[in-house]
Amino acid sequence: MLVRNAADPSARPNSLRELGMISDSNPIISLNEFTYRKGTEIYGEKEPAEYVYQVKLGAVRSYKLLSDGRRQIGAFHLVGDIFGLENGNEHRFTAEAIVDTAVRLIRRQSLELVAEGDAMVARNLLSMTTNNLQHAEDHMLLLGRKTSLERVAAFLIEMDKRLTAAGIMALPMSRRDIADYLGLTLETVSRALSRLHELGILGFIGNNQRQIVLLDKQQLASLDLQN
């Protein structure tokens, strides 16, 4: 699961092109593109990790189903993000389209072959792996040490860095997705967002309230102790 987090997003490659993965310049590379309807599984947990993916359009969630039936979302992958790169031979999470989504994919074996002969590609892959680990550590800290309001604040700060255009944050994920990412109930997430609205920190646009305007980023940042 590869997502941008607190680290500077410019510090690591964020596209297959930046990795050197373009078929026009390398005969080893063969890029394919697939589309997935909302809610469709892209790959399942423990399936062979044969491909590396990049979101071209839409959004993807990576999650595990816990033994008690609860869902824990580990990451959201947005347009441009690369995901599915594993340390082992199997996927550790299930990946699913949040909305109608298009992805590019490349065989992992092809990627490894290019990395063997291209030091820049190898360094970029290492950078991606390092950022992946940092995100996992930050997410674990968020789940274990932050209050519900701090978790929601941290989530909004992350999404603001990745999604905001023209001052508006258009969230592709539902509040249920946000709750499963933050380890909270749906009701707790709704209360936290309402509280932030009451404090004048954010405003909502539209009936589904998935379009958010951050009115006071400084106050929001003060709620996230790790920001």
Is residue 101 in some structural domain? yes
Question: Is there a single domain that holds both residue 109 and residue 19?
Answer: yes
Q: What is the pLDDT of residues 180-198, one digit of tens each?
A: 999 999 999 999 999 999 9
Residues 93 and 62 in one domain: yes
- The pLDDT value given to residue 27: 46
Token pair, residue 198, equals 């009451």
Q: Does 16 share its domain with 111? A: yes
Write out residues in the chain with pLDDT < 50, as ranges: 1-15, 20, 22-28, 226-227
Distance (Å) of CA 56 to CA 28, 32, 128, 182:
21, 11, 18, 25
Alpha-carbon span 142 to 181, nearest angstrom: 10
3-state secondary structure 137-165: HHHHHHHHHCCHHHHHHHHHHHHHHHHCE
Please give the pLDDT value at position 30: 60
Does residue 168 share a domain with residue 79? no
Residue 9 is classified by DSSP as G
Report the C-alpha gap between 88 and 107 in whole angstroms: 15
- Per-residue model confidence (pLDDT) at position 140: 81
Q: How many domains, in total, are found in the chain? A: 2
One domain for residues 190 and 107: no
Strand partners, 59: none
**Boundaries of domain holding 197:** 146-223
- Let me know if residue 4 belongs to a domain: no
Inside any domain, residue 165? yes
